[in-house]
Amino acid sequence: VDDLLRCGICFDYFSIAMIIPQCSHNYCSLCIRKFLSYKTQCPACCVAVSESDLKNNRTLDELVKSFNSARQQLFRLVLDAPVISSPLACSRYSAGKSHVTSPVSWPVIKEEVPVIDSFLRKEKVCTLTKADGLAGTDQKIFKTEEDHNFYSSSAEVDGKDNEGGSQETPDCTESHEKPSTSVVKVVKKVECPVCEVTIPEQYINKHLDSCLTREEKKDSLRSSTHKRKPMSKVVYNLLSERDLKKKLKEHGLSTHGTRQQLIKRHQEFVHMYNAQCDSLNPKSVAEVVKELEKNEKIRVQLEFNKSGENSLTFTKNQTEEEIDEIHTDY
């Protein structure tokens, strides 16, 4: 379940899950939008997809939310629960032990048993009464072993023995022969006047309450979905640097850096903004800008650390031993 609730791109739990209708694969809104900016296909099955094809999967979002809350509770229960041995297992173990140490033992004949013979043997063991006890059980099993030896010459004796066994224990045989007395109840269904779906009569009032509130939620969602439209893509090759900086200023983004850095910054902002448009509670433009700036700082810091670790600097005045020492440290 944990793996099924994770995105196939970032391998984290779904954040604003989006479904591709053509193949039913699900991804985070931001992850799939970034991927589609490079390849217009599904990452899993390579079906042709565009951003306009993506649809929200609210049910999956609710599942992730519920699973995360339940996951913490399950962890606590597993860590806090003491190890308790099952009393049933202990009783079975003691019963098995007493049965093994029983002084009464009978010889076991190792030979191939016909199918009908094994069936007769099971019937005879089943027809034992509780009054006979353990000794009666052993005697009866031993008797069936003898009957098996003389089965080919005395079939009638076996038939009589079966009749006698069934007479001794009428309770066991009757329990097999009694027909089922359970009656299948017919559930009466009525049609919902709102959605025209057939519902069991006993649940119609509860369904009507949820059905009416659902209609109200749909109306509110329809009215709220048009408040925030996603941003359209920009052809950066046709934009001058001045126009590009103007677009960045409109959203409160930084205008410092090279042209490539400005383009990358605006692309990242468009992806994050459009991903928030898919959310029921989208972040504001200021929050998106703040998150973008934070990500940029982390990226720059990582690149700086990486370049410092991977670089080897030498001077003309360094000796061969000093160069070897630098290589060793690297």
Asked if residue 300 has pLDDT above 60, the reply is: yes
Topology adopted by domain 17-80: Herpes Virus-1 (3.30.40)
Weakest-pLDDT range from 27-41, 207-221, 236-250: 207-221
Gap between the Cα atoms of 85 and 89, Å rounded: 8
Q: Domain-by-domain residue ranges, the chain?
A: 17-80, 104-174, 189-225, 238-310
Distance CA 40, CA 54 (A): 12
Please tell me the distance from the alpha carbon of residue 220 to that of residue 324, in angstroms, as a whole number: 71
| pLDDT single digits (tens) 95-137 | 554 444 444 445 444 444 454 454 444 444 444 444 444 444 4
Closest CA to 253 of 269, 273, 274: 269
Of the candidates 236, 258, 257, 229, the residue with the CA atom closest to the CA atom of residue 247: 236
